[in-house]
Amino acid sequence: MGTFFSAPGWLCLTVTAVLGGTIFCKLKKSQGQVGRKVVCLAGLWGGACLVSLSLFWGLILFSLSCFLVYTYFSGQELLPADQKAVLITGGDSGIGHALSKYLDELGFTVFAGVLDEKGSGSEELRRTCSKRLSVLQLDITDPQQIKDAHSKVKEKLQNRGLWAVVNNAGILGLPTDGELIPMTEYKRCMAVNFFGAVEVTKAFLPLLRKSKGRLVNISSMAGGVPMEKMAAYSSSKAALTMFSAVMRQELSKWGVKVSVIQPGGFRTNITGTSDMWDKLEKNILDHLTPDVQEDYGQDYILRERNFLMFMQTYSVMDVSPVLLDVQHAISAKSPFAFYAPGKMSYLWLCFVSFSPTGIFDYFSKKMHSHRKSMPRVLSMPNWKNEAT
């Protein structure tokens, strides 16, 4: 106790208090969710130091952790939006639509790529946003439309580079067992969620290199956390996540910073409409072989749309955490390599990365135990005896 009340002890305590107060002030101004997680981790680390060591040395280590967090926050100041141009794909609806409006309000020059430039989403952007925003016809699976969009962006920017590209456009399809998903759906998910994003990136990278700007790819928590019924969607998002990681390394020498956003469950139009579900169900049934259809049963397949309703029920309406993280990714002096906005998404990604596979599978099975729908053969009382 005498050591703590000595001059070095009081000095250490004072430094801790000053740094802690400064960090708290910076935390109140921080954007998105990741800053709060870093501070929580620093707090846990400091607490562990105080418990495991003597009070004096614990405070020294805690002061050091506060200093490191302070240094970390000093690189999180946001650059001004003036004269910075951003291309966003998938601006018709959902996150892309909300992001286009949000960045326009912040003062960015926004190019909103849309699937239908005459659709209601496009018209709303023209009506509600400033003249800085331009709506571009951009089906990311159409190479010619990508070239045309590139020409229009380059013409408007003239000698300026493009500050950021946000690859947001994506599709979900009808979630069901991987064996039941037709190959056409696997290819469609890859075409939009992965190959489209890659082609847009390749087309606009010269403009990003010129500005030493940002590449932001909207992936999904499903790209890192195995989820039943999501074989096609998750595979395409996992490919996008890995593409982002490789490009982050390769583009660093050009001064281009790359971030990947892995949101949790947010309610958007990606789940589609009832008419779309009908078409997808018909597509699945038309492509099944007789033996697979016999084993699963048509009733099981038709009940799979209940999973979409489950997703909508438990997803979050407010997409502002995603918008804040994208803003941080394109505006911070030192953006993060990845972001995980949404309830529990960061914890789930960490859980998958560090826990044994058997433990994750056990918890995943428990989470899906409420879904009592089973394939026809598995619901038969004597199916185990028949299998043996």
Q: Which residues are catalytic?
A: 233
CA 237 – CA 262 distance, rounded (Å): 9
Q: 58, 310 in Cβ contact below 8 A?
A: no
CA 30 – CA 96 distance, rounded (Å): 23
Q: Which two tokens stand for residue 355?
A: 């826990």
CA 167 – CA 172 distance, rounded (Å): 15
DSSP three-state, residue 159: coil
CA 89 – CA 115 distance, rounded (Å): 9
Q: CB count, 10 Å around CB of 104?
A: 21
CA 159 – CA 241 distance, rounded (Å): 31
For the four alpha carbons of 207, 132, 263 and 80, in that order, the dihedral sign comes to positive
Burial class (CB in 10 A: 0-12, 13-18, 19+), 220: buried
The side-by-side arrangement of strands in the sheet containing 109-114 is 134-137, 109-114, 85-88, 164-167, 214-218, 257-261, 338-339
For the four alpha carbons of 91, 93, 94 and 98, in that order, the dihedral sign comes to positive
DSSP three-state, residue 31: coil
Q: What ranges make up the beta strands (E) of 263-317?
A: none
Through-space distance between the first and last CA atoms of the chain, rounded to whole angstroms: 71
CA torsion angle 51 56 61 62 (round to 10) = 70
Rg of the chain in Å (alpha carbons): 25
Q: 233, 241 in Cβ contact below 8 A?
A: no
Q: Which two tokens stand for residue 29?
A: 């101004």
Residue type, position 5, single letter: F
